Amino acid sequence: MTTTAPPLDTHVPDWILCPGCRAPVYGKRFVRNDRVCPHCGRHSSLTAPERLAGLLDPGGAEPLVHPVRTGDPLGFVDVRAYPERLREARERTGLDEAVLCARGTVRGLPLIVAVMDFRFLGGSLGSAVGGLIAHAADTALRERTPLLLVTASGGARMQEGALALMQMATTSQAMARLDEAGILTMSLITDPTYGGVAASFASLSDVIIAEPGARMGFAGARVIEQTIRQSLPPGFQTAESLLSRGFIDLVCPRSGLRTKLARLLSFAAGEVEFLVDDTGDFYFMEVNCRIQVEHPVTEMVTGVDLVREQFRVAAGLPLELSQSGVAPRGAAIECRVNAEDPARDFLPTPGPVEEFTAPAGPFVRVDTDCFPGHRVSAAYDPLLAKVITWAPDRAQARERMRRALDEFHVSGPGVRTNIPFLRRVLDDPRFADGTHTTSLVADLTSQEPLG
């Protein structure tokens, strides 16, 4: 079995002997310091209510109610019956289960939190715990709110047998749904985090944070040593060792957690997409939390390297410019050159590229990874290149694009491109005077076939 810290006593004596450095610590000072030794920095256990109070804004925690109640599916009895152990754990901790879920804010930013409590049967992962974790994840998905999982567990709950092991799949699927939806997930690893929790949702978040000295692994160090009959290196399975091997993203002391979470929640790098009607009204479509395909147009008219700025934001650095410092200049047009056949409803035309001659010259930009010998795959977007032209006004930018497309040559067995169709768009009077709408493509494809 894995040796773990003793259950946390809510009564704090006048003096505490730190288990790390063996130094005496005044009890009230210890509590004020979030149960962190002021001498050696050792992080002692917190209860789930204490953890919520320390992470969320004061008065903002709203419990997530979910009708999950632990049963006794196996009629398990060791020294005591399983229901008796549950009743004792509830009376001692004041919790219904080994996880406490809540909705709240961190410095005003919304967050769904699920906090495990090691006092409740060692924070073991049973069917109710898995159901509550999945409910917290589903709530985050429904409300499109980031999710934080605070882990503290000795592993699966043996009294529930295979039902406990199945919770690894239940929670992993819930995390996968959040990942598909692009919703931020974070794990905070506290000491100890072992077994099925470490092997499932604790390791599946976008950002994995650990408190200093926290241990995480599937099996405990002593079990591994007895199995392999070798001594493990110092610090094995600790947060610092896991960080050096890339298993977690950062180690953060308890005093800095709120600040770190607020920074993670405030990160936003993306672009807004919208439509404009014939009266000049704007209609919001979506925010893409990534660089847009059309970003070179903005870069050409502003001179701002958007990719560089997004990398800076992702690295936690401030933007180097303000909105007032962005001065649009001139006009830019972008054409996406695809290996597709406009006459066949823009079906891709995969095959080998034998000739690839891109345009060049002042105020012409070509973004591409294509070359003679490149093969257009049927499995991916058949984008060959993006051509962008800039000029002092839109009319000149359009003329430069027409000339650039005339210089663009792509050929290969079976490979066709949409360049003829792009020329037709540029030549259309509605596009030339800026009165075109979303129906332009349908109108042009209904005309005579392109040669």
Could you please report the per-residue DSSP string of 250-262? EE--GGGHHHHHH
DSSP H/E element including 238? none
Query: Is position 40 annotated in a ligand binding site?
Result: yes
Phi, psi at residue 2, to the nearest 5°?
A: -90, 130
Instruction: Burial-class residue 317 by CB neighbours within 10 Å (0-12, 13-18, 19+).
Output: exposed
**Strand pairing of 207-210 and 250-251?**
parallel
Measured distance CA(191)–CA(41) in Å, rounded = 14
DSSP H/E element including 62? strand 62-63
Query: Is position 37 annotated in a ligand binding site?
Result: yes
Q: Is the Cβ–Cβ distance between 355 and 374 less than 8 Å?
A: no
DSSP-derived letter for residue 9 is: P
Max alpha carbon distance in the chain (Å)? 90
Q: Output the CA–CA distances (angstroms, integers) from residue 207 to 183, 238, 246, 249, 310, in the order listed.
A: 12, 17, 12, 6, 18
Instruction: Burial-class residue 2 by CB neighbours within 10 Å (0-12, 13-18, 19+).
Output: middle
Measured distance CA(221)–CA(202) in Å, rounded = 18
Query: Radius of gyration of the chain from Cα atoms?
Result: 30
Q: Is the Cβ–Cβ distance between 410 and 335 less than 8 Å?
A: no
DSSP-derived letter for residue 319 is: P
DSSP-derived letter for residue 450 is: P
Instruction: Burial-class residue 300 by CB neighbours within 10 Å (0-12, 13-18, 19+).
Output: buried
Which amino acids are annotated as binding site for Zn(2+), given as ranges?
18, 21, 37, 40
Which amino acids are annotated as binding site, given as ranges?
18, 21, 37, 40
